[in-house]
Amino acid sequence: MIVVASRNGNVGIRQAMAVLKAGGSALDAIEEGIHHVESNPADHSVGYSGLPNLLGEVELDASIMDGRRLASGAVGSVRGYEHPISIARKVMEELPHCFLVGTGAERFAAEMEFPKKDLLTPEARRIWLDTLNRNALGGVYRERTDYLDKIREWVKKSADPEKYTGTTNFIAMDARGDIACGVSTSGWAWKYPGRLGDSPVIGAGNYADNRYGAAACTGRGEMAVNAGTARSVILYMKMGMSLEEAGLEAMKDLWAVQDPYAGSMNIVALDRFGEPAAFSNQKTALYVYMTEDMDEPVEKARTYVPMTRQEWEKERSERAEGSERTAG
Ligand code: GLY
C-alpha cells in the first residue's frame, strides 16, 4: 500500500495511509488526504482560503479517477463548497456524467447536501487585494476590455499558483492493488472568472489506470491541458517505458507547447508495481510518499527536467564536461 502526493499533501498523507491500513479503498484514501489540504488555511492554492479569481470569488476545481474501471468525476469553477473532491466523487458515483461546472456543479453539491461555506479568508482577500493594488489594477479590473488589454502583463506579474504552494495531487494503491488519483485546486490566482486548468480535466491533470499506474500534475495547467500530460505518462508506460522514462518523456513533450506564460510544471506518478516517481521543471521541487511500513512520510526530490530543450542540452553537456574533468 502506498500514498503519493505533491508536497503540500504532507498535511493529509498520514490520514490517507490510515484509511488504507483500516481496509479502506484507494478512492477513500485520496479523498481523505485531499480533505486535509482543502481545509488547510495556510494553503492558498486549494479549497478553503484558496486565492480568488480576478473578481474576488474563490472558484474551485477537482477531479477523481478510479483506476479499476477508468471512471472519473470532476467539477470546475465551484463556489461556496470546501471539498470539491467529494463533489467530484459524487459526480462519478451518482450521475451518468463525469464533469460538471459552475452553477450546475453547485446545484448538484446542494442536492447532495454538502454544507456551504464562505471560502475567502481575510488573509487570502488581503493577498488578492494587495496584488491588485500593487499592480495598479484595483480600479480597472471590472472593465472587461481593460482586463483583456492587460492580461498578458498581468498574468506574468501575479499569477503563478505555485507561489502559494500550488494545487494538490494524491495517488493511492490499496491492499487489493487498486489505484486511484485525485486533484484539487483553487486554480490560477486572479484568473479570468470561469477559467479551468488541468486539475479537473481527466487526461491533463489526472489519470489512473490499474493496468499501468497513475499520474497527476501541478503547475501551469494550460500546458498540461495542451500536452495531455497525465494521460501521456500512462500511455508511455503502456508502450513499454519504465515510470522514470515515461515521466521524462511527458515532461519533454511540454517543450513543444508554445506558451507565452510557460511556468512551473510538476508530475507525481505511480506505476502498477507501487513504485512512485515525480518530475518537475523546477530544480528544488519535492514530493511526498508513504508506504504501509513507514511511521512517517518521506519528502524526496523530483527528477529535474528543464523547461526547454536548450536548457536540457546545456545541462547535459555541462554534466559531461564535469565528469570528463573528474575522470581526467
Ligand atoms: N494546475 C492547476 C491549475 O493550473 O489550475
List the catalytic residues.
167
* pLDDT tens-digit series, residues 52-108: 988 889 999 999 999 999 999 999 999 999 999 999 999 999 999 999 999 999 999
Our answer on whether the CB atom of 187 is closer than 6 Å to any ligand 1 atom is yes
Give me the domains of the chain, ranges plus CATH numbers.
Answer: 2-327 (3.60.20.30)
78: DSSP letter: E
Per-residue pLDDT at 294 exceeds 90: yes
Q: Which atom of ligand 1 is nearest to the CA of 218?
A: 1
Retrieve residue 276's grid coordinates: 512512485
Retrieve residue 99's grid coordinates: 464533469
Average of per-residue pLDDT values in the chain = 91
How far does the centroid of ligand 1 lie from the alpha carbon of residue 184, in Å? 9
Mean pLDDT of 124-153: 64
Per-residue pLDDT at 146 exceeds 70: no
How far does the centroid of ligand 1 lie from the alpha carbon of residue 90, in Å? 22
How far does the centroid of ligand 1 lie from the alpha carbon of residue 38, in Å? 15
Q: Which atom of ligand 1 is nearest to the CA of 219?
A: 1
Q: What's residue 243's pLDDT?
A: 98
Q: Determine what percent of the chain is predicted with pLDDT higher than 90.
A: 78
Q: What's residue 9's pLDDT?
A: 97
245-278 burial code (b ≥16 CB/10 A, e <16): ebbbbbbebbbebeeeebbbbbbbbbbbeebbbb
Q: What is the dihedral of CA 221, 223, 228, 234, to 10 degrees?
A: -80
How far does the centroid of ligand 1 lie from the alpha carbon of residue 294, in Å? 30
User: Cell 452553477 identifies what position?
Assistant: 103
Our answer on whether the CB atom of 221 is closer than 6 Å to any ligand 1 atom is yes
Mean pLDDT of 100-127: 96
**Cα–Cα distance, 241 to 197 (Å, whole number):** 27
For residue 291, list its beta bridge partners: 2
Q: 105 and 81 in contact (C-beta within 8 Å)?
A: no
| Residue 161 banded pLDDT, cuts 50, 70, 90 | very low
How far does the centroid of ligand 1 lie from the alpha carbon of residue 100, in Å? 17
* pLDDT tens-digit series, residues 221-254: 999 999 999 999 999 999 999 999 999 999 999 9
Q: 12 and 33 in contact (C-beta within 8 Å)?
A: yes
Q: Determine what percent of the chain is predicted with pLDDT higher than 70.
A: 90
For a ligand 1 pocket test, name from 63, 188, 191, 217 the mutation site with the most ligand atoms within 8 angstroms of its C-beta: 188
For residue 78, list its beta bridge partners: 60
**Cα–Cα distance, 152 to 261 (Å, whole number):** 8
Per-residue pLDDT at 163 exceeds 60: no
Q: Which phi-psi region, left, alpha or beta, contains residue 178 (left: φ > 0; alpha: ψ -120 to 50)?
A: beta
Q: What's residue 259's pLDDT?
A: 87
How far does the centroid of ligand 1 lie from the alpha carbon of residue 7, in Å? 15
Can you tell me whether residue 152 is helix, strand or coil? helix
Q: Which atom of ligand 1 is nearest to the CA of 222?
A: 4
Mean pLDDT of 162-177: 84
Q: Which atom of ligand 1 is nearest to the CA of 224?
A: 1
Mean pLDDT of 181-204: 94
Q: CA distances (Å), 316 to each of 248, 306, 310, in order? A: 14, 11, 10
Q: What's residue 140's pLDDT?
A: 46
Our answer on whether the CB atom of 206 is closer than 6 Å to any ligand 1 atom is no
Our answer on whether the CB atom of 164 is closer than 6 Å to any ligand 1 atom is no
**Cα–Cα distance, 21 to 1 (Å, whole number):** 8
Of all protein residues, the one whose alpha carbon is nearest to atom 4 of ligand 1 is 221
Q: Which atom of ligand 1 is nearest to the CA of 220?
A: 4
Tell me the pairing of strands 179-185 and 286-291: unpaired
Our answer on whether the CB atom of 198 is closer than 6 Å to any ligand 1 atom is yes
Of all protein residues, the one whose alpha carbon is nearest to atom 5 of ligand 1 is 187
